[in-house]
Structure 1
Amino acid sequence: MSKMQNEFPEFYQVKLKKEDIKNSLIVFDTNYLLDILRLPVGEANKYLKALRHVKNNMYIPYHVALEFNFNKITVKTETRVALDLYKQNVMKQFQVLEDEINGLSLLKSDSMKKTFTDSMLEVTSDFKEKLSEELTSQISKSFSDKNIYKQLIKNIENSIGEKYTQDWINTVEEKGEERYEKNIPPGFDDAVKNEVIRTYGGLEYHEKYGDLIIWKDIIEKAKTIEETKIIFVTNDGKSNSKNDLLFKVKGQTIGPSIYLINELKKESKKDLYILNNIRFAELTDTLSEEEIIDLRNSEVHNSLDNKQIRFRNNFSDDIIINLNLENERNNINREYEKEFYLKRLSEISKRRKRAEHRFSYFKSKIIDAENPTVQEKENFNYLNDRLNHLIFEEEKIIDKIVSLENFDDKNNLGLENQDFDLY
């Protein structure tokens, strides 16, 4: 090895090969395990298949296992909420259809109109019931498989690291405070988190030091093994606003942070590689090209769906303010674009609420009146159309904001970290 390579080994690390997957220690982050619960049954089985491929050389840090158990119910709930929202949006269209049927003004005779609408609504009701049953059946079939969870637990339970001591955690956190002040990875991007302390099993730790606790666990494990390569499988760090794990140049992920490669090499004489979840599954060579494409598509859509759910559930003026603050970290064009859509969303949401109030008022008048006037009917139909239009506009803008939030994730999805020779 040349003097240059001896002095700066991190920049000359050997490129990762497929055969290295079976000859390295594979360390899984929490997000890989949670994806197996989050994704549809077909895609979850693909990740499970890749995980089984390295069952004999995998390692699950204790903190990863703990966070998995804390977060699994959240993931299941988010998935259920997303599916419920999907079903509600489908079924909501029947209300629009029923309103249109009831609003037919061509028939002047009340008796003729009642006969016509009753017949049409009966057909609509029958189809609505059948579609609801089919949606429930397909959702259950595609997303509910307790066997996947059981298989996951069975495959990882013998690979979980030893429980930490409180003294060890305290030492890591003391060093972590100094590291974060100097922007030393990993985890310094989490330094802005609130001082949340989590307690479990007689131990307590600050959530902001979670990534550092996992990293120090990996170092300790690396000291005890014969394998020369450590492969950390994680989706953390894909966003361009996340800079405490990966080395990036002009938005392109080159590989692990130089500091982390150096630290692991110095502490354990092992080489560090970081792969995102999909790239790991691809390198196991257990999946076809078509299956890998399915995984990529599922991850994009799943990420968007979950962010849409969280955005809708938490939409408020505070969210508007916080997202505008986040714009300062993004490039200027995207900042202005997101700010424009956020302001537009705020305006339309106010209009939608006013329209809902007026619509409810006129709807009650129509229901209570034996013979509503032509003007009242026209007002009701106008407000119904207006409200549906505003809801549609609101949905489109929310989708746009969420897509902007996920811009970095989609651009970095599947990047072949450390697979191209830029070191």
Structure 2
Amino acid sequence: MKDAFISFYENHEDDYLKSIWNSPNTRFILDTNVLLSLYSFQKESREDFINILKFLNSRLWIPYHVALEFQRNRLKVIKNHRIYIQDMQKETDDFLDSISFDDKILHTFKNKFTSKTKHLNIYTKIEDIINNISSEIEDVKDLLKEEVGKIRDLITDIDQDKIYLTSKDYIREEFDYIFSGNSLGNNIFDTQAKLDEIFRNGENRYKNMTPPGYKDEKVKENEVFTFNGLTYKSKFGDLLIFKQIIEYSKDPNIKNIIFISEDVKEDWRIVENLNGKKILGARPELKQEIFIESSVDDFYIFDINNFLKYTTSFLNVGLNPSSVDDIKNSLSVNETYQDVEDFFTENSDINNILKKEIKNIIQNHPNLNLSFDPLLLKDLSDLNLKIENLNKLEIINLENIKLPNFPFFDKKYEEIKEYVIKCNAVIEHINNPSNKPKIEGFLELLQRLIRVVNLLIDIDTNAR
């Protein structure tokens, strides 16, 4: 059976992967999002990553359309990084400006004793205490200024290269060197007729949800751009990249493809939900297509973290542990943003103002370390409606759930989710006619659970 359905199998044993990593017939292909992600890495981490790319040398390749998308999106990514740096600097400055200790209440308390000369010893003692407190307050202010200064220094370290929209771009210069000659693919869709043909083919693929790229259809439906006399439809960008990979893989000397991409949508990867989202291997349809049309025997998709893990392990390439941590943290922000994009794609009826607000939060505050769960937000909203209906029927008198401003949850995420499930279960019992004799007990339990949910949301401070 395996021979007939080979695209459903994927060997992840270390010895097998090591043989692929070391094979001269393996090609490492980078997606656009990998190139752009380097702008969010700290300098040392970026240099480590670039050194790994240089080490792979002749086995490294990017499709023409990846390079085109990189050139088109580079300035937007730089702008967002500048916003990130400016936002952190502003937050530290605002924090410092907000530090104030109002000592009016101390002086008011002291002045109450000024006319009471028979309590002069008390007045003197109070004056000494207030002077001591005032002195300690000044010491605290100085300490805070010193610590905030250290934070500013850390922000400066993050922005060592100071890449601006009009400045020298060290990252692109490195890519110009790495992806020269045979490391950059040719544009196999070099006429409008060829492009239009792939677009027509893409329309049929997307109708049948044939990967890759169909998840971009709604998001980029009407987005077009022109380059070098050719008009492109953005929603077919992934399809163009995949077709260029297939054409490149027809070289009989290429037997294994490792595609490194931060795209974790289900039109590239197998995605399953089991105690959270699980991102697995490449879609079997993709593997089957490339196996049939090219000469490769293996097609893998790995994200940057796994690519680095296997490369450093199998090829004995050194990578600073701090670089690993920095890259993981940088990419976790990208993953959150991807989750946001996926949610909006699947819920196109959501208010556009809310979409814009949430996207701005992610872009302008990339240091947010929150759980993104729009479905929990929906559950909370549904719970509100159920409680409102019970109130209208005068079955119960409860306060509504206090919804967070946006679908992000901090340290109390799991507890909030657990109690929302409990509340819904109790409401099911209340609405069941056979439970009327026990209704008072269920109502009392629901009231307690609602108070707990309110409390958890109130103390989930970062989600406010």
For Structure 1 versus Structure 2, the TM-score category normalised by the shorter chain is 0.5 to 0.7
Structure 1 residue ranges without an equivalent (≥5): 311-315, 325-329, 348-391, 399-423
Q: 1:85 to 1:395 in 2, by over 3 A?
A: farther
SS at match of 2:280: strand
Letter of the aligned partner of 2:269 in structure 1?
L
- Map 1:34-49 to 2 at 5 A: 34-49=36-51
1:244-302: per-residue Cα shift (whole Å, max 9, x none)? 11123444333111101000010003121111111111111224583575156423554
Separation in 2, partners of 1:202, 1:117: 73
Deviation readout 1:187-230 (Å, 9 max, x if unpaired): 01111123110111211111110100100110111113512011
More moved, 278-287 vs 23-32: 278-287
Return the offset for 1:138: 3.6
1:318 aligns with 2:352: yes
Counting only pairs closer than 5 Å after superposition, residues 335-374 of structure 1 correspond to structure 2 as 335-337=378-380, 344-346=403-405
Q: How does 1:240-259 map to 2 (within 5 A)?
A: 242-250=265-273, 251-259=277-285
Residue 397 of structure 1 pairs with residue 463 of structure 2: yes
Residues 209 and 198 of structure 1, relative CA distance in 2, 3 Å threshold: same
Greater percentage in helix: 1
Find 1:80's aligned residue among 75, 79, 82: 82
Q: Does the aligned pair in 1 maintain the 2:254–2:295 contact within 8 Å? A: no
Tell me how far apart the structure 2 counterparts of residues 6 and 258 of structure 1 sit (CA, whole Å).
14
CA distance, structure 2, for counterparts of residue 396 and residue 13 of structure 1: 41
Q: 1:267 aligns with which of 271, 293, 305?
A: 293
In 1, Cα distance between the equivalents of 2:462 and 2:75?
A: 29
For residues 149-228 of structure 1, what are the structure 2 equivalents within 5 Å? 149-158=172-181, 159-163=183-187, 164-165=189-190, 166-193=192-219, 194-228=221-255
What is the Cα deviation at residue 77 of structure 1? 1.9
Q: Aligned in 2, Cα 1:14/1:7: closer, same or farther, shift over 3 Å?
A: same
Q: Contact 1:172 / 1:216 at 8 angstroms: preserved in 2? A: no
Contact 2:40 2:330 in 1 (8 A): no
| 2:61/2:184 contact within 8 Å kept | yes
CA–CA distance in 2 between the matches of 1:104 and 1:305? Answer: 46
> Does 219-228 or 5-14 show the bigger shift?
5-14
Indicate conservation of the 8 Å contact 2:29/2:258, yes or no: yes
Query: Does the CA contact (< 8 Å) of 1:55 and 1:156 recur in 2?
Result: no
- 8 Å contact kept, 1:91–1:128: no
> What RMSD in Å do the two structures reach over aligned CA positions?
4.0
Aligned residues between the structures: 333
Which residue in the other structure is 1:388 paired with? none
Kindly provide the amino acid, as one letter, of the partner of residue 251 in structure 2. T
CA spacing shift, 1:218–1:167, aligned 2, 3 Å: same
Bigger Rg, which one: 2
**For residues 326 and 159 of structure 2, what CA distance do their matches in structure 1 show?**
15
- Do 2:269 and 2:282's aligned partners in 1 also have CA atoms closer than 8 Å? yes
The 8 Å contact of residues 21 and 311 in structure 2, kept in 1 or not, is answered as yes
Q: Distance in 1 between matches of 2:374 and 2:142?
A: 52
- Would the alpha carbon gap of residues 321 and 198 (structure 1) be closer, same or farther in structure 2, given more than 3 Å must change? closer
Higher relative contact order (CA 8 A, sep 6+): 1
1:9 partner letter: I
For 2:3, the equivalent position in structure 1 comes to 6
Q: Is the 8 A contact 1:231 1:272 kept in 2?
A: yes
Equivalent pair of 2:405/2:463 in contact (CA under 8 Å): no
Distance 1:44-1:343 versus aligned 2 partners, 3 A rule: farther
TM-score (norm 1): 0.66
AA aligned to 1:89 is: E
- Amino acid in the other structure paired with 2:185: G
Displacement after TM superposition at 1:73 (Å): 1.8
Gaps of 5+ in 2: 112-126, 164-169, 342-349, 359-372, 385-400, 407-457
User: Do residues 140 (structure 1) and 156 (structure 2) align?
Assistant: yes
State yes or no: 1:231 paired with 2:255.
no
Deviation at 1:122, TM superposition (A): 8.5
Matched AA of 1:195:
N
Partner of 1:298: 329
Letter in 2 for 1:396: N
The 1:332–1:125 alpha-carbon spacing in structure 2 relative to 1, beyond 3 Å, is closer
